[in-house]
A and B are shown apart, each in its own frame.
Chain A
Amino acid sequence: MGLIGADLVRQDAATLARAMAEGEVSSEEVTRAHLDRIGEVDDRVHAFLQLLSTEALDAARDIDRRRAAGEQLGPLAGVPIAVKDVLTMTGVPTTCGSRVLEGWRPPYDSTVVERLRAGGLVILGKTNMDEFAMGSSTEHSAYGPTHNPWDLERIPGGSGGGSAAALAAFEAPLAIGTDTGGSIRQPAAVTGTVGVKPTYGGVSRYGLVALASSLDQAGPCARTVKDTALLHAAIAGHDPRDSTSIQAPVPDVVAAADEADVRGMRIGLVRELRGEGYQAGVSQRFDEAVAILTDLGAEVVEVSCPHFEYALAAYYLILPSEASSNLARFDGMRYGLRMGDDGARSVEEVMSLTREAGFGAEVKRRIMIGTYALSSGYYDAYYGSAQKVRTLITRDFEAAFAQVDVLVSPTAPTTAFRIGDKVDDPLAMYLNDIATIPVNLAGNAAMSLPVGLAPEDGLPVGLQIMAPPMADDRLYRVGAALEAALVDRWGHLLIEEVPAL
């Protein structure tokens, strides 16, 4: 299949990479096509905070030159990618969606960016996000919301709404997200794309501006399971600069995606992550997908994870506690915004004014909750208890994985809601992550992939697959099998149904 005359931006990464390797198309052409597409649609989508057109074209031409010189290049060399604005990149503004980091240009590359560059990927720009990754809608970005390509009046999920929307709008075939409580998976679910939160420690956090250090994990986002696997393989693996990164071989996720075989696998339905509270169309598409897995030869059983009902409460103590400390450094002393430095005010006043002006309401809310939860006299009741719940949730997973190979659930309880609907109701917003949070607390791996449109609103529904730590390959084995069966049924990927912008 040649790509002559084809719409380059609608191709998946694996196809583009093969076409480039075979000389059908250059990275410069592919990159230019994506930059043109961004120029065409991003004023409506607002997926990007920072576009790196010149740098991207330079990088693309460099790859083309190296390929022409006969250099052995990585499997994704020359493919464009969008990077969430929470990962540092030398000399490129990194805002984390916050005013407080306005103007800061990091002097170093995050490990993920370093590995993308080493793999020859072409970075198109930095994508929008909820401020410091706090949110499920990208409405908490200080630079304005991102719009869901399926319906521009709706949210693209969050915090990584920019990365997911870029994929769904065909602005990039690949993107990097980060997932602290569902920030890769929930945006994937509501935009009809694929996203994986790798095992905690599977991808280096070096250069990922921390929200909650014990929960944060960067991961791959794409429109197909195979592309997600290729990107996963490109960024994963031990990094001596991150003590929490795992010193073990990366599971062979690409081979698992190629095998795409669930025969003989045991798949568990988590009783606590379905039923009440889930939109009817979400439950319907989820049940249909589970039936397909059974048809493909998997054995599906129900399992119970009784402590999952406490996950949200524990998460909203652990995350704010760590965040209150991680975000302390944004004090106006060394970089980014500085307010009130008129030569008369004290250092405390300047710090205070800077933080007052630099942080949005949701960030302040979580800093205050975390500061309170860690305070002397409250630590045991809040942070201490939350850590105990975390242990119980990890044990629930261990018990479940003693019975089954993977667990499945809907990724999010609803499809994409309207911009503005929940922005003033934090508790309603937090409930979006009810199914994704347990995985972050336990540190294991999970994927969201599209399983259809909800009949009532015609919007994408995501299914979540959860695997034990360092068994990320199982996500791809199951996800690729399910995706192939759905493509057989529909005749195309779900994303092909996204309305023209």
Chain B
Amino acid sequence: MTATHDTVPFAEAIAAFDPVLGLETHVELGTASKMFCGCPTMFGGAANTHVCPVCLGLPGSLPVVNRTAVESTIRMGLALNCRIAEWCRFARKNYFYPDMPKDYQVSQYDEPLCFDGYLDVTVETPDGPREFRVEIERVHMEEDTGKLTHAGGATGRIHGADYSLVDYNRAGIPLIEIVTKPIVGAGALAPQVARAYVTELRDLMRALGVSDVRMEEGSLRCDVNVSLSRPGEPWGTRSETKNVNSLRSVERAVLSEIERQAAVLRDGGRVIQETRHFHEDTGRSTPGRSKEQAEDYRYFPEPDLVPVAPPRDWVEQLRATLPEPPAARRARLRAEWGISDHEFQTLVNAGALDLVEQTIAAGVDSAAARKWWTGELARTANDRGVELAALGVTPQHIKRLEELVGAGSLSDSLARQVLEGIIAGEGDVDEVVTSRGLAVVSDDAALLEAIDAALAEQPDVADKIRGGKVQAAGAIVGAVMKATRGQADAAKVRALLLERLGVSE
């Protein structure tokens, strides 16, 4: 039984112990069909509709490897600087669970398709950016399981449930698993290194086009291994925190596990090798099953599949298709845009690089493109807890907004209202402008009418202006802007007002 320990504050924990991390990341590949059959991989759909005898594991059915999944895995391996196996096999991982149609998972065991690579990641420190090399142990392919829903019971877990439902739509979706070698020497930066690594993996997969990594749909899942040891001593026992499903959670899971293990060790306790479950709401984990009675998966080579032996010339052709690595691309963009590290990091943190680059490519001025994406839009995305690209605003929208602002038919504040409309799903820029009636009032007669009305309401202010107190014009301009619901150009109103009253600046 695990004693209940408190946690040790992070700074204190890191002062006493060195953390070692290991990250296993599962990502759904963006192939059109499943790993071993022709069923579609699209998310959603009524339960058990994207299934066939193969992904249901019906007696007699046989798997056939999806070539695109192999190709995607090799490209990912190459991008992670891995060696690509000349010959490797799938293996069966045997265990009984109702979400597995065959009661074994087709995976890879001691013969991964890609191995021995690395990924360089950068973390921000008070002393400026610092680079870490994360070594990659292996990249392999496997099939996903079905999805269980537990009805009744308090916890939504299988134990205590009244009954459980299985949806096999997810069964057989191709997964890529990327396993790091132990990450040592990160010290206090360990949580950030973990987050930066997973972020970098995500960006790499998107750049490669092998997955669009829809984290909100659970298409990236991370298992976080953490151990602590006192400096100079052998590595400690590790725990494995399962299914950490967001970038923020990766960082928090590492941090909270360091704090927890430090408390156990400080009190003279022993860290138990176990699986832990991370809770997004509390940012803490609770113990799952102990690995001390570890399941024996009885791996053996999958006899229903022939070995995967990618010809070397194919591998080289795939290498030639690799896009610019994200780190190199960032260096290039920062130089091209001529901005500070800090400003650039703001763009990176906002997930705005692609969007800004595309907006500039669409013909928008670089500073304006950055302003739109990192300002209002980044704030909205952050408030809603979604990714910037998920807001529904496109580089084309920004281009059109900039055209209208440049032509004087939209003010900045009107442009922000247009964006609100787009995010609310009201259509594109011109549709929102029309439906919300957001065009700048540039009709002089209409403006003069509003000015006259405002002057009539505030005769004392009118007199002050006539008397030379030009700064009092603000009150009239404000009233006109209010009357036109912000759709007038304030500078123009002011000019018209002064002209009307026959005064000059």
Residues of A within 8 A of B (CB): 87-88, 94, 96, 101, 104, 106-108, 110, 205-210, 212-214, 240-244, 321-322, 324-325, 328-331, 333-335, 343, 346-348, 351, 371, 374-376, 379, 383
Given A108-B53, A331-B96, A347-B164; A244-B304 close (CB under 8 Å): yes
Q: Which one, A96, A207, A379, contacts B300 given CB within 8 A?
A: A379
Q: Is the CB of A209 within 8 A of B59?
A: yes
Inter-chain contacts of A110 with B (CB < 8 A)? 60
A-B contact pairs, 10 of them (CB 8 A): A106-B58, A206-B61, A240-B64, A321-B300, A324-B298, A325-B94, A325-B104, A328-B103, A328-B104, A379-B300
Q: Return the CB mask of B297-309 against A: 1 if under 8 Å, else 0.
A: 0111001111000
Q: Is the CB of B62 within 8 A of A205?
A: yes
Taken together as a complex, chains A and B put the C-alpha atoms of A402 and B299 apart, in Å, by: 36
* Shortest beta-carbon distance from B338 to chain A in Å: 54
Inter-chain contacts of A331 with B (CB < 8 A)? 96, 98, 103
| 19 more A-B residue pairs beyond the given contacts A208-B60, A376-B296, with a C-beta to C-beta distance below 8 A | A88-B59, A106-B53, A107-B53, A108-B58, A206-B61, A213-B303, A243-B63, A244-B303, A244-B305, A324-B298, A325-B104, A328-B96, A329-B101, A329-B102, A333-B98, A333-B166, A343-B162, A346-B159, A374-B300
Given A241-B64, A243-B62, A335-B58; A213-B304 close (CB under 8 Å): yes
Q: Which one, B56, B64, B306, contacts A334 given CB within 8 A?
A: B56
Q: Is the CB of A96 within 8 A of B62?
A: no
* Shortest beta-carbon distance from A336 to chain B in Å: 9
Inter-chain contacts of B159 with A (CB < 8 A)? 346
Residue in A213, A243, A331 whose Cβ sees the most chain B Cβ within 10 Å = A243
Top-10 shortest CB links A-B: A328-B103, A374-B298, A213-B303, A214-B303, A209-B59, A207-B60, A88-B60, A209-B60, A376-B296, A329-B102
Interface residues of B in 123-149 (CB under 8 A from A): none
Q: Is the CB of B296 within 8 A of A328?
A: no
Given A108-B58, A205-B62; A322-B158 close (CB under 8 Å): no
* Shortest beta-carbon distance from A381 to chain B in Å: 14
Taken together as a complex, chains A and B put the C-alpha atoms of A101 and B60 apart, in Å, by: 12
Taken together as a complex, chains A and B put the C-alpha atoms of A241 and B62 apart, in Å, by: 7
Inter-chain contacts of B182 with A (CB < 8 A)? none
Q: Is the CB of A101 within 8 A of B63?
A: no
Q: Is the CB of B62 within 8 A of A347?
A: no
Interface residues of B in 17-73 (CB under 8 A from A): 53, 56-65
Inter-chain contacts of A206 with B (CB < 8 A)? 60-62
Q: Is the CB of A96 within 8 A of B59?
A: yes
* Shortest beta-carbon distance from A193 to chain B in Å: 25
Taken together as a complex, chains A and B put the C-alpha atoms of A374 and B164 apart, in Å, by: 31
Inter-chain contacts of B101 with A (CB < 8 A)? 329, 334
Residues of B within 8 A of A (CB): 53, 56-65, 92, 94, 96, 98, 101-104, 158-159, 162-164, 166, 296, 298-300, 303-306
Question: Whose C-beta in chain A lies nearest to the C-beta of B38?
Answer: A241
Inter-chain contacts of A347 with B (CB < 8 A)? 98, 158, 164
Majority SS of interface residues in chain A?
loop
* Shortest beta-carbon distance from A426 to chain B in Å: 22
Inter-chain contacts of A244 with B (CB < 8 A)? 62, 303-306
Question: Whose C-beta in chain A lies nearest to the C-beta of B52?
Answer: A108
Given A213-B304, A328-B102; A351-B96 close (CB under 8 Å): yes
Question: Whose C-beta in chain A lies nearest to the C-beta of B94?
Answer: A325
Taken together as a complex, chains A and B put the C-alpha atoms of A355 and B375 apart, in Å, by: 62
Taken together as a complex, chains A and B put the C-alpha atoms of A334 and B304 apart, in Å, by: 22
Residue in B98, B296, B298 whose Cβ sees the most chain A Cβ within 10 Å = B298
Question: Whose C-beta in chain A lies nearest to the C-beta of B37?
Answer: A241
Q: Which one, B64, B103, B166, B299, contacts A329 given CB within 8 A?
A: B103
Taken together as a complex, chains A and B put the C-alpha atoms of A101 and B58 apart, in Å, by: 11
Majority SS of interface residues in chain B?
loop
Question: Whose C-beta in chain B lies nearest to the C-beta of A108?
Answer: B53
Residue in B57, B98, B303 whose Cβ sees the most chain A Cβ within 10 Å = B303
Q: Is the CB of B298 within 8 A of A371?
A: yes
* Shortest beta-carbon distance from B66 to chain A in Å: 11
Taken together as a complex, chains A and B put the C-alpha atoms of A236 and B6 apart, in Å, by: 68
Question: Whose C-beta in chain A lies nearest to the C-beta of B162?
Answer: A343
Given A243-B306, A347-B98, A351-B96; A325-B59 close (CB under 8 Å): no
Inter-chain contacts of A205 with B (CB < 8 A)? 62
* Shortest beta-carbon distance from B50 to chain A in Å: 15
Taken together as a complex, chains A and B put the C-alpha atoms of A110 and B61 apart, in Å, by: 8
Inter-chain contacts of B94 with A (CB < 8 A)? 324-325, 328, 374
Taken together as a complex, chains A and B put the C-alpha atoms of A94 and B53 apart, in Å, by: 14
Inter-chain contacts of A94 with B (CB < 8 A)? 59-60
Taken together as a complex, chains A and B put the C-alpha atoms of A87 and B60 apart, in Å, by: 7
* Shortest beta-carbon distance from B99 to chain A in Å: 10
Inter-chain contacts of A328 with B (CB < 8 A)? 94, 96, 102-104
* Shortest beta-carbon distance from A196 to chain B in Å: 21
* Shortest beta-carbon distance from A124 to chain B in Å: 20
Q: Is the CB of B60 within 8 A of A383?
A: no
Taken together as a complex, chains A and B put the C-alpha atoms of A375 and B94 apart, in Å, by: 10
Question: Whose C-beta in chain B lies nearest to the C-beta of A318?
Answer: B303
* Shortest beta-carbon distance from B169 to chain A in Å: 15
Inter-chain contacts of A108 with B (CB < 8 A)? 53, 58, 61
Inter-chain contacts of B98 with A (CB < 8 A)? 331, 333, 347
Taken together as a complex, chains A and B put the C-alpha atoms of A348 and B94 apart, in Å, by: 15
Q: Is the CB of A242 within 8 A of B59?
A: no
Inter-chain contacts of B303 with A (CB < 8 A)? 212-214, 244, 322
Taken together as a complex, chains A and B put the C-alpha atoms of A56 and B391 apart, in Å, by: 61
Q: Is the CB of A210 within 8 A of B102?
A: no
Q: Is the CB of A325 within 8 A of B298?
A: yes
Q: Which one, B59, B96, B298, contacts A348 given CB within 8 A?
A: B96
* Shortest beta-carbon distance from A204 to chain B in Å: 8
Question: Whose C-beta in chain A lies nearest to the C-beta of B294?
Answer: A376
Q: Is the CB of B59 within 8 A of A329?
A: yes
Q: Is the CB of B53 within 8 A of A329?
A: no
Q: Which one, B59, B64, B102, B104, contacts A104 given CB within 8 A?
A: B59
Q: Is the CB of A375 within 8 A of B296?
A: yes
Question: Whose C-beta in chain B lies nearest to the C-beta of A206?
Answer: B62
Given A244-B306, A322-B303, A325-B300; A107-B58 close (CB under 8 Å): yes
Question: Whose C-beta in chain B lies nearest to the C-beta of A212?
Answer: B303
* Shortest beta-carbon distance from B151 to chain A in Å: 12
Inter-chain contacts of A322 with B (CB < 8 A)? 300, 303
* Shortest beta-carbon distance from B477 to chain A in Å: 73
* Shortest beta-carbon distance from A208 to chain B in Å: 6
Taken together as a complex, chains A and B put the C-alpha atoms of A209 and B53 apart, in Å, by: 12
Taken together as a complex, chains A and B put the C-alpha atoms of A34 and B324 apart, in Å, by: 70
Taken together as a complex, chains A and B put the C-alpha atoms of A343 and B164 apart, in Å, by: 11
Q: Is the CB of B300 within 8 A of A106?
A: no
* Shortest beta-carbon distance from A280 to chain B in Å: 39
Residue in B57, B96, B162, B305 whose Cβ sees the most chain A Cβ within 10 Å = B96
Taken together as a complex, chains A and B put the C-alpha atoms of A335 and B104 apart, in Å, by: 17
Taken together as a complex, chains A and B put the C-alpha atoms of A403 and B298 apart, in Å, by: 40
Inter-chain contacts of A210 with B (CB < 8 A)? 59-60, 304
Taken together as a complex, chains A and B put the C-alpha atoms of A331 and B58 apart, in Å, by: 12
Question: Whose C-beta in chain A lies nearest to the C-beta of B166?
Answer: A333
Taken together as a complex, chains A and B put the C-alpha atoms of A322 and B104 apart, in Å, by: 12
Question: Whose C-beta in chain B lies nearest to the C-beta of A214?
Answer: B303
* Shortest beta-carbon distance from B371 to chain A in Å: 55
Inter-chain contacts of B102 with A (CB < 8 A)? 328-329
